[in-house]
Structure 1
Amino acid sequence: MFSTAPRPFRASRLPFTPMRTILIMGPGGSGRTTLAAATALAEAEKGTDTLVLSADRTDTLGAALGVGTGPTPVEAAPRLTAWRPDPARDFRKDLAALQDRASSALDLLGASRLDPEELTPLPGAEELALLRALRDAALAERHDLLVVDLPPLPQALALLALPEELRRYLRRLLPPERQAARALRPVLGRLAGVPMPAEWLYDTAARWDLELAAVEAVVADRDTVVRLVAEPGPAGADALRTAGQGLALRGLRTDAVVANRVLPEASPDTWLAGPVAQQRKALEEWRESYPVRTVAHLGRDPRGADDLTALEAPGVDRDTPVEPVEWPVTDRLGEDGVLVWHIPLPGAVRDDLDLVRRGDELVVTVGRFRRVVPLPSALRRCTVDGAALREGELRIRFAPDPKLWPRTR
C-alpha cells in the first residue's frame, strides 16, 4: 500500500532519474540475487556509489554479501549500500494513516479500529514495499547506480506492470476532472440523496497517482535496463521466452542475458559431457537474440565478497547509449490510405496474439500478458483495418473514419 500522508515530492524530477538503474530478473533458483550482489559489488569496487535493493524474505542478499540486510540501509562494502525494505512495517504505518483519515466514516459505521500490533501484511505488500524503495532511492539522488533484485518470474513482470495498471484503475474509479466540482459535492449529495465521495478520498487518490507516476518514471527511464539471469538449458530457455514477451509488451529494454553457472568446456569428468553440450546449445540459441554474458560455476554457493568477485559479474557499460524502445506510427495515407502502428514484439507467436479496440484504448495480449495502452492521438479517429506480425513486429493498420471526426456546425 502506498502512503496516504503527504510526501515532499519534487515534480520536476519525475520525468527522469539521475542514476543508472539495472533491474535483475530471472526465474527462481537461477542465482539472480547473487548476481545482483556481485554486480553491485563490482561497480562499487570501481568507485561507483551503488545501492542494491532486494525484497527477498530470507535475506539471500545479505548471505551473498556476508552482511545482514534489513529495513535500514547498511554499508555492505566501501561505496556499496544494501537495503531490504520491511513490508510489514510499511503496511502497518500506511493502514494506520488510512484509518486516521477515514475516522469519520468509520465512526459513522460503528467500525472498530485495528491496532498496528494485530496487522499482518497482505499478499503483494512485499512488491509494493520494493516499488516504494525504488522510488525513494531515485528521488534521494544519493547514488550513481541502483541495482534491483526483482522477485522471480513471472511475479517480476507483474510488479513492473503494477504502477501503470494501478494508475489506470485510479483514473477510472476517481477521474481527476471530477475534482473540479468539489464545491458542488454537498449540494449534489443532498439532491441525489446519497453521500458524495469525501474530499480526503480524492486527495489520497491524487497522492497515490503521484507516487505511482514516480515509480513508473524510474522504470521507463532511458537509463533503466533489465538484465536477465538464467541457467543455460531448457528451463532457462522457457524463462527467457516468457520474460521476452512480457518485457517487449511493456517496452522495457534488455541490456544483456547473464548465463549463470556455466560449466567448464574442458573437464576430465565424462559425466559433464551431456550437461556441457546442453549448455552450449542453449548459449548458441540465446546469442541469436541477446547479448550474452557468461558466469562460470564456482563449484559451490557463492558467499562473501571474495566469492562474488570471483564470479566476474558483467559490469555496466556507460559508454554505449541505451537505445529507447519506440512504438512509431508511420504515415501511409498517400500509398495505402492507412496509418500503421509498429509495436516491437520479438519472439511473439501469431497464435498467442490478441487485439481488442475499446474506445481510445487498445488491449494487446501476448501469451499470458496483457496491456491496455492508449491510442496515439493520430489514431483515435481511425478504425482498425487489420494487423500482421512480421519480423518480430506487430503492425496494426488504421484507416481514417469520417464518422469519428469532430462535427462542425
Structure 2
Amino acid sequence: MRTLLITGPGGSGRTTTAAATALTAAREGARTLLLGTDRTDTIGPVLGGGTAPGLTVRHIDPDADFRTDLAALQNRAASALDLLGASRLEPEEIAPLPGAEELATLRALRDAALAEDAYDLVVVDLPPTPRALSLLALPEELRRYLRRLLPPERQAARALRPMLGRLAGVPMPAEWLYEAAARLDLQLAAVEAVLADRATVVRLVAEPGPAGADAVRTAALGLALRGLRTDALVATRVLPESEADGWLAGPVAQQRKTLDEWQESYAVHPVAHLGRDPRGTDDLTALAVPGAGTKPGGATRWPVEDRLADDGVLVWHVPLPGARRDALDLIRRGDEIVVTAGPFRRVVPLPSALRRCTVAGAALREGELRIRFRPDPELWPRTR
C-alpha cells in the first residue's frame, strides 16, 4: 500500500489537489482512501457529491476521537480519581483540546496502515505546511518524551516499587500509567513506521510566485530535517502563456520564473487555472493532476562516511536543502545531537559508531550539513 501525504501553504489548492489525485488514482484502478483532516469537511464540497468506483472518502472527526480517548483514560484511572474525590467528565461536556486534530490524524494513518489489504493507496489531505510539519514530527517527539519521563526499564522493577516508594517517601508511578505509556508508544511507533516506509511520499502543492517559492523552500527544509521524501511538486493556478502579452504579462512572467527554478529540484506538474474554483468531478478531471506515481519514498538516509584512513574522522552527511549558515545550530548532548535549521529543530540519536567520537567540526555545503567526528581514544576500540 502506498501513502501519499499532500500539503502546501494555506489557500494553494491543497485540498483540491488531494481530491483530484485520489479521483485520478481510483479511475486508474487503485483502491483509494482519501482522508480529510480539516475540522470542517472541505473535501465534500470540492467533490461536489461526486465520486468514482474504488474511491472511499473519510473525514476525520477529532471531537469524537478525543471524547473516546478521555473516557477510556477515566475508566483506567477510576481508582485514583475516586481516591482524590474527583468527579468524572461526561461526554457532552468534553471539548477537544489543542492537539486533538493532530492525534486524530495520526490515529487515522495508523488505522489505514493496519487495513492495508483494503486499499492500494491512501491520500491524506494534510493541514497547511507549518501545521503539517509539526504533525509529522509529533510521533518521534512524543516517543522521546515518553522514554525520558517513563523509561520502560523502570517498569521491570514493579515488585520493588512499593518498597522504593516507602524509602523515597513519595508514591511511585502506578502500573496503569506504564501500561498506558506502552500502548501509546506502540501506536506512535506504528505511525513512525508508516512515515518511514518506502511506499510513503510527500507531495507539495503551491502556487508559483514569490510567496509560493518561499513556502516551498521552508517546507523542503522541514521535510529534509525529518528525513521525508518529496515525490512531486504540483504548481496550481498556472496562467496560460497566451496571456504573456496581455495585461497578465507580469504574473505570467513571474510564474514562469518560479516554475523554471522548481524544475531544477522537483518533478513539477503544472495545473492550469480554470478561471474558477474547481467543484465536482468534471472540474477535478480537467485539472489533470497525476495519480499516485511510483517514486520510492520513506525516510532518507543520513550516511556516515569513513575517512579515518585519510583524515582521521568520520563524516555524517545530513541533507538540508535551503538551509542557511546563520540559521543553523548544532548541540551534542550525550548520545544525541540537536539540529536546528531555521524554524525547525530535531533531536537525533547518534549512530552507534559516532557515540564513541567527539564532534570535530561541521560545514554546510551544497545543501548538505557535514558533521565531522573524531574517535575518542578513551572509548574507541584500540588496534594492535
TM-score range, shorter chain: over 0.9
Q: Could you say which residue in structure 2 is the equivalent of 1:196?
A: 172
Residues 306-336 of structure 1, C-alpha deviation per residue, up to 9 Å, x if partnerless? 1111110022223x54586211111111111
Residue 191 of structure 1 deviates from its aligned partner by: 2.3
Does the 8 A contact of 2:241 with 2:252 survive in 1? yes
Task: Name 1:102's counterpart in structure 2.
Answer: 77
Change (3 A) 1:311 1:80: same
Q: What is the distance in 2 between the residues matched to 1:110 and 1:163?
A: 34
> Matched residues in 1 for 2:306 and 2:124: separation?
39
Partner of 2:135: 159
Cα-to-partner distance string for 1:3-22 (whole Å, 9 max, x where unaligned): xxxxxxxxxxxxxxxx1111
> What residue is the counterpart of 1:58 in the other structure?
40
Q: Which residue matches 2:125?
A: 149
Distance 1:198 1:21, change over 3 A: same
Distance 1:207 1:179 in 2: 14
User: Displacement of 1:244 after TM fit?
Assistant: 0.7
CA drift of 1:269 comes to 7.7
C-alpha distance in structure 2 between counterparts of 1:267 and 1:347, whole Å: 32
SS in 2 for 1:402: coil
**TM-score normalised to the size of structure 2?**
0.96
User: Structure 1 length normalisation: TM-score?
Assistant: 0.91
1:135 aligns with 2:110: yes
* Superposition deviation, residue 371 in structure 1: 0.1
Stretches of structure 1 lacking an aligned partner (at least 5 in a row): 1-18, 68-74
- Please give the secondary structure, in 2, of the residue aligned with 1:334: helix
2:27 is aligned with 1:38 = no
Q: Measured at CA, do residues 268 and 238 of structure 1 come closer, stay the same or move farther in structure 2, by a change above 3 Å?
A: closer
Structure 2 residue aligned with 1:28: 10
The whole-number CA distance in structure 1 between the counterparts of 2:144 and 2:11 is 33
Flag as ranges the 4+ runs of structure 1 deviating above 4 A: 320-324
Aligned letter for 1:364?
V
How big is the shift at 1:237? 0.5
The residue that corresponds to 2:336 in the other structure is 361
Residue 230 in structure 1 maps to residue 206 in structure 2: yes
Kindly report which structure 2 residues correspond to 1:162-177, keeping only aligned pairs within 5 A, or say none.
162-177=138-153
Percent of aligned positions with the same letter in both sequences? 78
State which of 300, 310, 324 in structure 2 corresponds to 1:349. 324
Matched, 1:282 2:277: no
User: Aligned AA for 2:234?
Assistant: V
- Measured on the aligned residues, the alpha-carbon RMSD in Å equals 1.6
Q: Specify the alignment match of 1:273 in structure 2.
A: 249
Task: Name the CA distance, whole Å, in 1 between partners of 2:47 and 2:349.
Answer: 43
Q: Give, in whole Å, the separation in 2 of the partners of 1:195 and 1:104.
A: 15
1:12 maps to: none
1:309 & 1:202 partners in 2: Cα distance?
A: 50
Shift of 1:406: 8.3
Aligned to 1:313: 289
Partner of 1:333: 308
Larger mean Cα displacement after TM superposition, 180-189 or 33-42:
180-189
Contact 2:201 2:298 in 1 (8 A): no
Structure 1 pair 173–241 and aligned structure 2 pair: CA distance change class (3 A): same
State the partner residue of 1:5: none
Alpha-carbon deviation of 1:95? Answer: 0.5
1:111-122 alignment, distance < 5 Å = 111-122=86-97
